[in-house]
Amino acid sequence: MTNSFDKKESEPKNSIWVSLKNIRMQMHGVFSRDVIDTKELIELEEILILSDAGPQISAEIAENIRNELKNSKNRLGPKGCLIVLRNLIEKRLEKLVDPNHLSQSILTEKQENPLVSILIVGVNGSGKTTTIGKLASYYKAGNLSVALAACDTFRAAANEQLISWGENNSVEVFSSRVVDPAAAAFEAIKTSKEKKIDILFVDTAGRLPNNKNLIEELKKIRRVMSKANNGSQEHTWIVIDCNTGQNAISQIRKFREAVDITGIILTKFDGINKAGFLLQLSKHEPIPIIFVGTGEKITDIVAFSPEIISSGIVGLDSMTE
Ligand SMILES: Nc1nc2c(ncn2[C@@H]2O[C@H](COP(=O)(O)OP(=O)(O)OP(=O)(O)O)[C@@H](O)[C@H]2O)c(=O)[nH]1
Ligand SMILES: [Mg+2]
């Protein structure tokens, strides 16, 4: 089965690599010196803190490298330190890997109750609707029948935006006239089952997690969808804008208090400037990252790979080293 990942095998690596240029240049500034000593390790810690890795994780990583240097009787050298650093970061990021490989398993594993419904939530402008457009294309390329439910009943333009993504992908968009998004989601699931749709993405209005009414509304959407689903596979993915930095942690935590978040989609990785927040995420909210958005185009979405991200941060490529 082919899908957009297979078609352009080398691209995910390139787009992630390019996005991490800033932090990589800073790492390069430290590790291109002849000797790595206390001064360099302090600088490393600072780079990590400034990238939103948090003071504790940053100190732990610098300490780990200090110990490795000591154990090697200072024979490790700058390149050796970089390899250790890459491995430390990769190991931490592995906690964010989806053990069920949902991005692929939805494509390949036949379900008993075929409909998989995915509720997409997040704050305003995080990239929910765009991500749904990209995922419609991704799963359609994998020969699944895809439908979209326009449940952002807040803004009239939101429906139009989703309908336009539906047209681009030639997939059906259920756009109800009812103003209650929970009722609209319920209808969409019922119709999807009747039409034997494989995967339904439910778009919701952006909301701040401290807006009590909107969070109650979200809980209602989730409850009603679960009833309509009646045992079919269901997920709730939160869309996180990478520019949110470490605030992403509290955002996810608050959404998780309202609904069971089963996956994360990172968007705007192409504009990431505080990549260290991923390390905090792996420690404090290790929910699987299902996909990473790397631009505004329909194909700008890649699988999450700790190996590619850790290599991109330190500037080492495990394939060529
Ligand atoms: N550079 C970049 N831009 C993105 C990415 N994903 C989404 N965007 C842009 O972010 C903006 C907001 O995207 P939407 O999909 O409308 O966000 P939303 O979460 O649906 O917004 P609301 O429904 O208003 O809450 C648009 O200009 C998108 O093109 C990405 O991965 N990279
Ligand atoms: Mg939207």
Rounded to the nearest angstrom, the distance between the alpha carbon of 157 and the centre of ligand 1 is: 14
Q: Degrees (nearest 5) of the Cα angle 139, 144, 150?
A: 70
Over the stretch 25-64, which tens digit does the pLDDT of each residue have?
A: 999 999 999 999 999 999 999 999 999 999 999 999 999 9
Does the residue 54 lie in any domain? yes
The answer as to whether 292 is a domain residue is yes
- The CA 127 to ligand 2 mean position distance, Å, reads 7
Taking the CA of 121 as reference, the closest ligand is: 1
Report whether pLDDT(258) > 50. Answer: yes
Asked whether the beta carbons of 201 and 174 are under 8 A apart, the reply is no
* CATH number of the domain that residue 256 is part of: 3.40.50.300
- With the C-alpha atoms ordered 247, 18, 22, 63, is the resulting torsion angle positive or negative? positive
Ramachandran region, residue 193 (left: φ > 0; alpha: ψ -120 to 50; beta: rest): alpha
Is the pLDDT score of 128 beyond 90?
yes
pLDDT band at 4 (very low <50, low <70, confident <90, very high): very low
Residue 189, both tokens: 């699931």
Q: Does the reported pTM lie above 0.75?
A: yes
Within a domain: residue 321? no
* CA-to-CA separations, 169 to 51, 158, 159, in angstroms, rounded: 37, 17, 15
**Listed residue (202, 145, 141) closest to 174, CA to CA:** 202
- Percentage helix, strand, coil for the chain under 3-state DSSP, each rounded to 5: 55, 15, 30
The pLDDT mean for the chain works out to 91
Q: How far does the centroid of ligand 2 lie from the alpha carbon of residue 312, in Å? A: 30
Ligand 1 nearest-atom number relative to CA 294: 31
10 versus 306: which is more confidently predicted? 306
Read off the pLDDT of each residue in 217-244 and give the average, rounded to a whole number: 94
Report how far residue 132's alpha carbon sits from residue 148's, in angstroms, rounded to the nearest whole number: 8
* Whether residue 197 has pLDDT greater than 60: yes
pLDDT, average across residues 279-288: 97
Ligand nearest to the CA of 131: 1
Q: Terminus-to-terminus CA distance in the chain, angstroms?
A: 32
Residue 320 located in a structural domain: no
> From the CA of 159, which ligand is nearest?
2
How crowded is residue 186: how many other Cβ atoms within 10 Å of its Cβ? 21
Instruction: Give the distance (Å) from ligand 1 centre to CA of residue 299.
Output: 14
Model confidence at 108: pLDDT above 90? no
Domain contains 2 = no
Query: Could you tell me the pLDDT band of residue 106, with boundaries at 50, 70 and 90?
Result: confident
CA nearest neighbour of 279 among 5, 88, 38, 65: 88
Render pLDDT for 288-297 as a digit per residue (tens, 0 to 9): 999 999 999 9
Query: Residue 314 — very low, low, confident or very high, per pLDDT cuts 50/70/90?
Result: very high
Q: Structural domain of residue 89, as residue ranges?
A: 9-314
Query: Bridge partners of 241?
Result: 267
* Predicted confidence band of residue 109 (pLDDT cuts 50, 70, 90): confident
Pocket of ligand 1 (CB under 6 A): 122, 124-130, 152, 158, 205-206, 239, 267-268, 270-271, 293-296, 300
In the chain, the number of structural domains is 1
Choose one of 267, 270, 294, 302 to mutate for the ligand 1 pocket test, by most ligand atoms within 8 angstroms of C-beta. 267
**pLDDT at position 110:** 67
DSSP-derived letter for residue 95 is G
> Cα(185)–Cα(150) distance, rounded to whole angstroms?
8
Tell me, yes or no, whether 3 lies in a domain.
Answer: no
Percent of the chain with pLDDT over 90: 82
